[in-house]
Structure 1
Amino acid sequence: MEIVKIDSISQLREVIGLGKPEHPLITLIKYDDIVFEETKHLNKKFIINTYSISLKSVSGGKVKFGRSAYDFEDGVLVFKTPEQVAHFEPDEDCARFSGWSLHFHPDLIRKSELGKHIDKYSFFAYKQTEALHLSEREKGVLLNIMQTIKEEYALNIDKHSQKLIITNIELLLDYCARFYDRQFYTRSNMNKDIVIQFEGILREYINSDQLNDLGIPTVKYCADQLNMTPNYLGDLLKKETGQSAQEHIHHYIIEKAKNQLLASSEQVSQIAYSLGFESAPYFSKLFKRKTGYSPGEYRELNR
């Protein structure tokens, strides 16, 4: 499969058959303006060096991200960071998109406050199956901001342009964060089931030989078992329980440690290594942070 690397907004627009950009670092693309030619666009892998926020629907085809193919429904918002890979696959009919996609180059925000904290918008690391489903009203809110961004970058660029564009991108992302909170809330019953599954995975892991053989379970391990991204699982748990995925893992490890401290006379270092810790001092520090006591103090107080 041919690999096409796209490093600029100009190159992106050229590849999809559009004209020169009005701004070198940002563009709003309407999918209805693009004619996908099967021989030109299919069976190619694209590595695109832009952030993107896309409202998509597809009829007559699928888009493949990584190893999985996905259908898009109306009102589904997906996010991508630079250097993510996407490619189109042949279907009975050539894929037809509708919707829009905002692309901005990392250089646009590199020296800004948004550039410093864009990682806080954790949904950029979500999978396509963890996309944001929007109501008509929510779509309208985002579209209005998109239009403001487009109008700003279409003007003659002056000393205010970059700040105003970035401010509106941040506003857009803040609304997306709000709408994701709404989605987590409305899916609360389903999310509770996921919390139960997550806790079951932790219990099974910690009570098996895996803890001693493989070390402390990671958030990624748990997320993989649930077919989720670590960011999505962490955000879901935070919304449902008030604790991060890592805090849940530490809780189960410390509970296991308490049992071992009181049920055996093993040295603290031996218990630490049996729990998957590479460092006994780190185990003691974590134990004290979670319980208020060192492992030795806890053992003495509960004998």
Structure 2
Amino acid sequence: MSVSLHFSEIADVYKFFNIDKPLKHPLVAVVDFSDVDESVEENTRISGDYYCLLFKRYDGNNVRYGRKVIDFNHGSLMCIAPNQVLEMETDIGAYTEKEGWGVFFHPDLIRNTSLQDKMNDYSFFSYEVWEALHMSEKEKQIFYDCVQNLDNELHENIDQHTQNVIVSHIELLLNYCARFYGRQFITRKSVNSTVVMHVEKILRHYFSGPGLQEQGLPTVKKLADKVNLSPGYLSDLLKKETGKNAQDHIHYYLIEEAKNILTGTDKSVAEVAYLLGFEYPQYFNKLFKQKTGKTPVEFRNLN
């Protein structure tokens, strides 16, 4: 039987890990996993109203999260957004030799700060848990030092500078996440190239076959599902490899097929739009001009 747990406050994290110490700041916490009890029943679903960065390592076994097995023997970092569900199918309480840390912060902590405006840029919060960041020993040390500095600040007396300093420490951690994910995309270039080729094959088949008439315009989510990645991770991977995100790739093949139909048939622009899966021809006109600099009629007349 599955169990669902939802934490609304940072204090709930302390209760979950049986941490018996005062919470100095109600909107942020740092947890050292090496000295807490985190026994979790099998088939437990966990979510919260806060962001968290989790770095964990369990010696001797893998841990299953959702549909994927995550190898934590060397340690991985997961970045989890509010209300994202973490499904745990293995009793992690069985692993006694574990280490790592967690940083938990509530959106209210960064509300009306410059960091709040940047959160959408940290696309790794939309990745699935199996797309965790695998760090080198040097990168782990950099993260650990940042976490220690944040933890030290949380033990200081609160004054008028406390929130700005805490938010700055968190922003530094997120910037390192962005840098190290960028490195991971580079070091996995051969694997990523295979994904790119698979994506292009899927789109070619989709636009040359009956997919448009049967399913309508492809979405980033549908494309990501076909290559077993999250939409955010796929878009970032494609951007690193080709300079175009997933939506750009879809639009490229869409416009190329539109050009083929416009120059190879005498169908009206409205018929072309419907054929390509658009419910409203004006949306097709707008996208076509945005991508080519010409309306469909102007393009047909020139070709």
TM > 0.5 = yes
* 1:274 paired residue number: 275
SS in 2 for 1:266: coil
* 1:98 paired residue number: 99
SS in 2 for 1:132: coil
* 1:23 paired residue number: 25
Give the stretch that moved more between structures: 103-112 or 255-264: 103-112
How much does 1:217 deviate?
Answer: 0.7
Check conservation: 2:66, 2:88, Cα contact below 8 A: no
How much does 1:68 deviate?
Answer: 4.1
Alignment partners' CA distance in 2, 1:204 and 1:139: 42
* 1:52 paired residue number: 52
Check conservation: 1:253, 1:275, Cα contact below 8 A: yes
Unaligned runs of 5+ in 1: none
After superposition, the C-alpha distances for 1:52-80 in whole angstroms (9 at most, x for unaligned) are 11111124555454444433232311111
- Structure-2 change in CA distance of 1:180 and 1:213 (3 Å): same
Alignment partners' CA distance in 2, 1:165 and 1:92: 30
How much does 1:253 deviate?
Answer: 0.6
- Structure-2 change in CA distance of 1:90 and 1:269 (3 Å): closer
Query: Residues 198-209 of structure 1 correspond to what in structure 2 (within 5 A)?
Result: 198-209=199-210
* 1:113 paired residue number: 114
Query: Residues 210-289 of structure 1 correspond to what in structure 2 (within 5 A)?
Result: 210-289=211-290
Check conservation: 1:60, 1:92, Cα contact below 8 A: no
Check conservation: 2:39, 2:92, Cα contact below 8 A: no
After superposition, the C-alpha distances for 1:273-298 in whole angstroms (9 at most, x for unaligned) are 10011221111121112222111111
Check conservation: 1:47, 1:83, Cα contact below 8 A: yes
SS in 2 for 1:84: coil
The residue identity in structure 1 corresponding to 2:165 is L
Aligned residues: CA RMSD: 1.9
* 2:125 paired residue number: 124
* 2:176 paired residue number: 175
- Structure-2 change in CA distance of 1:91 and 1:157 (3 Å): closer
Check conservation: 2:65, 2:130, Cα contact below 8 A: no
How much does 1:133 deviate?
Answer: 1.0
- Structure-2 change in CA distance of 1:26 and 1:85 (3 Å): same
After superposition, the C-alpha distances for 1:106-143 in whole angstroms (9 at most, x for unaligned) are 21112212123212100011112211111111111111
SS in 2 for 1:133: coil
- Is 2:69 the counterpart of 1:78? no
The residue identity in structure 1 corresponding to 2:263 is L
Alignment partners' CA distance in 2, 1:236 and 1:122: 11
SS in 1 for 2:94: coil
Give the stretch that moved more between structures: 148-157 or 82-91: 82-91
SS in 1 for 2:158: coil
SS in 2 for 1:189: helix
Unaligned runs of 5+ in 2: none
After superposition, the C-alpha distances for 1:165-197 in whole angstroms (9 at most, x for unaligned) are 111111111111111111111111221111100
The residue identity in structure 1 corresponding to 2:47 is I
Instruction: Among all aligned residue pairs of Structure 1 and Structure 2, give the percentage whose two residues are the same amino acid.
Output: 43
* 1:7 paired residue number: 8
Alignment partners' CA distance in 1, 2:90 and 2:263: 62
The residue identity in structure 1 corresponding to 2:137 is E
How much does 1:92 deviate?
Answer: 10
The residue identity in structure 1 corresponding to 2:13 is L
Check conservation: 1:63, 1:70, Cα contact below 8 A: yes
Query: Residues 186-201 of structure 1 correspond to what in structure 2 (within 5 A)?
Result: 186-201=187-202
Alignment partners' CA distance in 2, 1:208 and 1:49: 43
Alignment partners' CA distance in 2, 1:93 and 1:160: 39
* 1:133 paired residue number: 134
The residue identity in structure 2 corresponding to 1:30 is D
Check conservation: 2:236, 2:245, Cα contact below 8 A: yes
SS in 2 for 1:139: helix
How much does 1:22 deviate?
Answer: 2.8
* TM-score (structure 1 length as normaliser): 0.93
Give the stretch that moved more between structures: 90-99 or 202-211: 90-99
- Structure-2 change in CA distance of 1:184 and 1:100 (3 Å): same
Alignment partners' CA distance in 2, 1:68 and 1:188: 21
- Structure-2 change in CA distance of 1:90 and 1:250 (3 Å): closer
* TM-score (structure 2 length as normaliser): 0.93
Alignment partners' CA distance in 2, 1:92 and 1:132: 20
SS in 2 for 1:286: helix
